[in-house]
Amino acid sequence: MTLQADSITTGKAVLGTRPVLPYAPCMDHTPDDSALMLRYRDGDVGAFETLYRRHKDPVYRYLLRLSGHAQVAEDVFQEVWGKIIAARESYRPTAKFTTFLYRVAHNCFIDYLRRSRRHAGNLPFDPEMHRDPGETPETTAERRLARERLEKALADLPDEQRDAFLLHEEGGLTVDQIASITGCNRETAKSRLRYAVRKLRVAIDEPRARS
């Protein structure tokens, strides 16, 4: 196997460079997120609705998987959007809107942890989080088990690694943006992401390794 120390930041499909994610299809649509935010600042509520519908699900999933608890995710989610709404007057499109949005989400979650003095890992397991609306009885057991393994591995990741991974997967953020949001340097962010991917890959490959 070829060693690729910089594989996270180089190549077409590597970490931090993928431009559009199928499950986060909202990043590069027109009108621009910043333009929508400016229009909302000028009183256009419809612009905010567009912006909200574009980003609500990725942000919700980021918080849900970060906290591991639906109620916590909802509380922090509402707080995040409340802050976005409140920041409309002072908003300046100096950076990408998603960076701004996920910075607020990250900080709100950190504040929540400080307030509640509870660690995300200590939160009770929420079965609702694992429910798939499209799940049918025909879903294969192996696939279900694979999901469960991945979810468990994701929940078992250290907070910083899980945060970096979710910012990348849900927000489509680059290593530099993740470093900026989490307040660490680029190498640290890249390392966290790399370790997270490695652990998750091991979890996915577990049955194959056993066999």
Partner 1 sequence: MTTDKDQERVSAAYRDLPQASSPPALDRRVLAAARRESRPRYSVVRAWIRPLAWAATVGLSLAILLEFTLFNAAPPSPEPQPASGAPPAEQAGRDADVMRAKEEDAVVRPSMPRRAPAAARLESREAAARPPCDYEARRTAESWYACVEALRDEGRDEDAVAELAALREAFPDFEIAPAR
Residues that bind partner 1 (CB under 8 A): 1-5, 7-8, 11-15, 21-23, 40, 42-45, 48-49, 52, 56-57, 59-61, 64, 74, 77-78, 81-82, 85-86, 88, 129-135, 143, 146-147, 150-151, 154, 169, 194, 197-198, 200-201, 204
Residue 88 or 118: the one with the smaller Cβ distance to partner 1 is: 88
| Token couple for 82 | 């409340």
Residue 91 sits at φ, ψ, to 5 deg, of -65, 130
Minimum gap (Å) between residue 95 Cβ and partner 1: 22
To the nearest 10°, report the CA torsion of 36, 97, 164, 153.
Answer: 0
Residue 96 or 162: the one with the smaller Cβ distance to partner 1 is: 162
Q: Whose structure tokens read 């929508």?
A: 36
Minimum gap (Å) between residue 119 Cβ and partner 1: 22
Residue 73 or 181: the one with the smaller Cβ distance to partner 1 is: 73
Residue 117 or 209: the one with the smaller Cβ distance to partner 1 is: 209
Question: CA-based Rg of the chain, rounded to a whole angstrom?
Answer: 18
Minimum gap (Å) between residue 8 Cβ and partner 1: 7
Is the Cα dihedral 79, 84, 86, 90 positive or negative?
positive
Is the Cα dihedral 156, 158, 159, 165 positive or negative?
negative
Minimum gap (Å) between residue 19 Cβ and partner 1: 13
Cβ–Cβ < 8 Å for 66, 123: no
Residue 23 or 185: the one with the smaller Cβ distance to partner 1 is: 23
Minimum gap (Å) between residue 66 Cβ and partner 1: 12
Helices (DSSP H) in 68-158: which residue ranges? 70-86, 97-116, 141-156
Cβ–Cβ < 8 Å for 188, 179: yes
Residue 117 or 208: the one with the smaller Cβ distance to partner 1 is: 208
Q: Whose structure tokens read 């307040």?
A: 183
Minimum gap (Å) between residue 167 Cβ and partner 1: 13
